[in-house]
Amino acid sequence: MAKNIVVIGAGVAGLTTALLLSRKSGYKIVVAAKHMPGDYDIEYASPWAGANYMPVSITGTDAAEWDKNTWGPLEDLARNNPGAGVHFQDCEIHNRTKDVGSATAEWFKELLSSNPWFAKVVPNFRALPKEALGPGIDSATVFTSVCINTAIYLPWLVSQCLSNGVIFKRAIFDHILDATASGIHPNGNVDLVVNCTGLMASKLGGVQDTTVVPARGQIVIVRNDAGKMLDMSGTDDGDEEACYVMTRAAGGGTILGGSYQKGNWESQPDPNLAIRIMKRAVKMCPALTDGKGIEHLDIIRHGVGLRPVREGGTRIEKERIGGVLVVHNYGAGGAGYQSSYGCAQAAVDLIDQAWNVQAKL
Ligand code: FAD
């Protein structure tokens, strides 16, 4: 008999978990969420992401394993599935010696290394020659990465799930066990709940994980083309600010970032921060405006998203709450896309273990 599963959450974590589950026999899946692809809301991180593959996970950790296991599926989408809105793009990591010891440089430690674990995973990892570096840059690496147009990719995930029989519905749960109430799953009883509520796991009854906090990311989306992705080891504007640029696939515009403001829930863009973001981006990537100033940036929109950062990293665990089996997959911080397939597969493995369901061949 098929097992009835409710996945709470339609961000990249919930959708990827539902997709991998739906490729197996033995599960009847409902995705229930307050926000769905197409929505833009401060409680919904996924649409705001760049999103690219730029691992900051440390060698030997679960996080590095999840990132590693995600490269293959993303590479496959970029190579073989243009409808997913994922494309290859070179990613340059610029390193300033003066940032050593700063919070950003600590967070980026592995990324800034000349020999990170992912050098053997992504194609074409290499150091840039000194003469290719801009003023103030002491070293740089470059590799082939992917950039995901989230406005295409999230609906694509939904459509893949729908094709595999997944049911989608809007619902707001005060308590995780509300997902087992009658009327949520068409088959009646619910055998297992998958918790992919991101930052809001901090408020969801039965979970209330207060170790999940927002890391506020402000962005500017412009029509200008950067031609590549760039990221800097730090800024001269404090540890809560960041500098990165990436051009999304299929006309998705270029994302200029950003910030990493921990504990800050503010949903409205800060205009002063927006100016700093644009100035830093144009300085790091003069190709954006042919060497001209920020008045030559053609702004599509300003945005703010909250990364669901969890002390101790993403929670992928099995738990029994009020007698109901729950598998958690939340708290991916700034890595929800680049770890999506690895995390979802780890969650699916836990679900399979509950009933020893064999993969459909
Ligand atoms: P969310 O997308 O927040 O989804 C949560 C879901 O749960 C929503 O559907 C919500 O409605 C639902 N939900 C929550 N509570 C309830 C409830 N009580 N009842 C019903 N439904 C509920 N990651 C990368 O890998 N690469 C990047 O380049 C990148 N760049 C980023 C840039 C910015 C500016 C930001 C903000 C994030 C970035 N990230 C990036 C991080 C990435 O966006 C997140 O890690 C990821 O989106 C988290 O996805 P999620 O599915 O866990 O949560």
Instruction: Take atom 42 of ligand 1 and give the residue whose Cα is closest.
Output: 336
Taking the alpha carbons at both ends of the chain, their separation in whole angstroms is 18
Per the prediction, the chain carries an average pLDDT of 96
**pLDDT of amino acid 32:** 98
Q: Does the pLDDT at position 359 exceed 60? A: no
Q: Which residues sit opposite 321 in a β-bridge?
A: 324
Is the pLDDT higher at 87 or at 101?
Answer: 87
**pLDDT of amino acid 106:** 85
Q: Which pLDDT band holds residue 353 (cuts at 50, 70, 90)?
A: very high
Q: Which pLDDT band holds residue 107 (cuts at 50, 70, 90)?
A: confident
pLDDT (mean) for 183-212: 97
Interval between CA 64 and ligand 1 midpoint (Å): 19
pLDDT (mean) for 156-167: 98
Instruction: Take atom 12 of ligand 1 and give the residue whose Cα is closest.
Output: 9
CA 84-87-92 angle, 5° bins: 145
Query: In sequence order, what DSSP letters do the residues of 282-301 get, joined into one string?
Result: HHH-GGGGTT--GGG--EEE
Q: How far is CA 356 from CA 25, 328, 345, 360, in A?
A: 12, 18, 15, 12
Instruction: Take atom 44 of ligand 1 and give the residue whose Cα is closest.
Output: 336
Which residues have CB under 6 Å of ligand 1? 8-14, 33-35, 44-46, 48-52, 171-173, 196-200, 204, 217, 219, 257-258, 305-308, 330, 332-338
* Least confident among 55-69, 70-84, 93-107, 254-268: 93-107
pLDDT (mean) for 203-226: 98
Question: Is 141 within any annotated ligand binding site?
Answer: no
**pLDDT of amino acid 357:** 61
Question: Is 96 within any annotated ligand binding site?
Answer: no
**pLDDT of amino acid 104:** 83
Interval between CA 337 and ligand 1 midpoint (Å): 9
Instruction: Take atom 32 of ligand 1 and give the residue whose Cα is closest.
Output: 49
**pLDDT of amino acid 1:** 83
* The residue type at 81: N
- pTM surpassing 0.95? yes
Q: Is 34 exposed, middle or buried (0-12, 13-18, 19+ CB in 10 A)?
A: middle
Which residue is listed with tokens 């740089």?
A: 140
**pLDDT of amino acid 358:** 55
**pLDDT of amino acid 361:** 38
Interval between CA 130 and ligand 1 midpoint (Å): 38
Q: Which residues sit opposite 93 in a β-bridge?
A: 141, 231
- In testing the pocket of ligand 1, which one of 16, 267, 307 has its CB within 8 Å of the most ligand atoms? 307
- In testing the pocket of ligand 1, which one of 8, 169, 197 has its CB within 8 Å of the most ligand atoms? 197
pLDDT, tens only, 281-340: 999 999 999 999 999 999 999 999 999 999 999 999 999 999 999 999 999 999 999 999
Instruction: Take atom 33 of ligand 1 and give the residue whose Cα is closest.
Output: 49
pLDDT > 70: percent of the chain: 99
Question: Is 197 within any annotated ligand binding site?
Answer: yes
Instruction: Take atom 51 of ligand 1 and give the residue whose Cα is closest.
Output: 11
Q: Does the pLDDT at position 210 exceed 90? A: yes
| Domains present along the chain, CATH in parentheses | 3-356 (3.40.50.720)
